[in-house]
């Protein structure tokens, strides 16, 4: 930092520089959030909304075992997806950084990871169905190989297929940040560790994992927020048998119970904030990035 940025003029120009983004965030995030918060404390009879304060929206959400089960299920999906994507993301990045080494090939392979994103969510989801269904390709292969006698029904329209779809959709959001922090590791420090006699495992646990913490944390935030905010994937891949918090919200909105939906939304926001805070507790991203 130059000494200029400490002067009053410098401070003014700094504010000016953040102003456009601040304005954008205020109008597109701040104002809607305030409206949702207000809405969650207002009353409704299913037809009209009354601007009168009440706790009843929150009470009905928190007292409903169905809704609480939905929250727990959504958290479960998020955590399972988080663990699997972290393992896959770390492994892929490790391969790209420490085995491929050639920068052009690395970037090329990373772009290959994005191929599924060239088409829409709907098509990507639907294309799993003929693969995993009872009469699907995977079951036929297993039967033809004689590994099973009856088709497996757990493959599709189950929690398994939901998690599979999440992993398929969101692994890239884990690969990219981990790859980014891993590729910044100076190869010399790995040699230095080897020079001290460290085994591959020691290098992994003592150097590579700690130095990828920032990437893992950023990727975790992406994955957790994406899973917590989903209702489409869970709906398609569970065949309507599972639901998420957002699905319940959508039902409320369809029935014009906006304040209840708003209360759920606020609870979800709080929950996601808690999870993100927990992640940031483990990894001080600001300090890590400053280093």
Name the site residues for another protein (rule: CB under 8 A): 186, 188-189, 191-199, 202, 206-207, 210-211, 291
* Dihedral-angle region of residue 263 (phi above 0 means left; psi in -120 to 50 means alpha; beta otherwise): alpha
- DSSP assignment of 77-117 equals HHHHHHHHHHHHHHHHHHIIIIII--HHHHHHHHHHHTGGG
Min. distance of Cβ 197 from another protein in angstroms? Answer: 2
Q: Which is nearer to another protein, 53 or 201 (CB)?
A: 201
Contacts of 69 (CB under 8 A, 6+ apart): none
Nearest residue (CB) to another protein, 135 versus 195: 195
Token pair 């992640």 in the structure block, residue: 279
Tell me the CA end-to-end span of the chain in Å, nearest whole number.
Answer: 15
Q: Pick between residue 195 and residue 254 the one whose CB is nearest to another protein.
A: 195
Give the Cα separation of 98 and 106 in Å (integer): 10
DSSP 8-state assignment for residue 118: G
Structure token digits, residue 205: 């646990």
Give least dist CB 278 to another protein, A: 21
Q: Smallest distance, Å, CB 277 to another protein? A: 22
CB of 220 to another protein, least distance (A): 18
Complete DSSP assignment for 32-57: HHHHHHHHHTSEE-SS-EE----SHH
Q: Which is nearer to another protein, 69 or 289 (CB)?
A: 289
The nearer residue to another protein, 102 or 149, going by C-beta atoms, is 102
Least separation in angstroms between CB 261 and another protein = 44
């Amino acid at each position: 930092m130059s000494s200029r940025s400490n002067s009053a003029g410098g401070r003014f120009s700094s504010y000016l520089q953040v102003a456009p983004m601040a304005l954008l965030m205020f109008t597109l995030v701040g104002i809607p959030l305030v409206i949702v918060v207000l809405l969650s404390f207002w009353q409704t009879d299913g037809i009209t909304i009354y601007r009168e304060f009440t706790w009843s929206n929150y009470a009905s959400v928190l007292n409903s075992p169905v809704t609480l089960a939905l929250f727990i299920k959504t958290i479960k999906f998020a955590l399972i997806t988080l663990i699997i994507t972290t393992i896959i993301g770390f492994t892929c990045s490790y391969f790209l950084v420490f085995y491929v080494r050639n920068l052009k090939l690395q970037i090329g392979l990373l772009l290959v990871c994005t191929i599924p994103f060239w088409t829409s969510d709907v098509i990507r989801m639907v294309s799993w169905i003929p693969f995993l269904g009872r009469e699907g390709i995977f079951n036929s292969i297993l039967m033809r190989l004689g590994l099973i006698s009856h088709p497996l029904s757990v493959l599709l329209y189950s929690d398994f297929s939901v998690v599979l779809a999440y992993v398929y959709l969101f692994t890239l959001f884990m690969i990219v940040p981990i790859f980014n922090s891993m590729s910044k590791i100076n190869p010399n420090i790995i040699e230095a560790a080897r020079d001290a006699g460290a085994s591959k495992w020691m290098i992994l646990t003592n150097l590579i994992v700690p130095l990828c913490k920032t990437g893992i944390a950023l990727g975790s935030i992406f994955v957790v927020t994406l899973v917590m905010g989903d209702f489409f994937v869970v709906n398609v891949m569970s065949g309507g048998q599972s639901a998420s918090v957002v699905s319940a919200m959508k039902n409320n909105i369809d029935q014009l119970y906006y304040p209840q939906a708003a209360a759920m939304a606020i609870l979800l926001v709080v929950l996601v904030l808690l999870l993100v805070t927990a992640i940031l507790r483990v990894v001080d991203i600001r300090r890590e990035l400053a280093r």
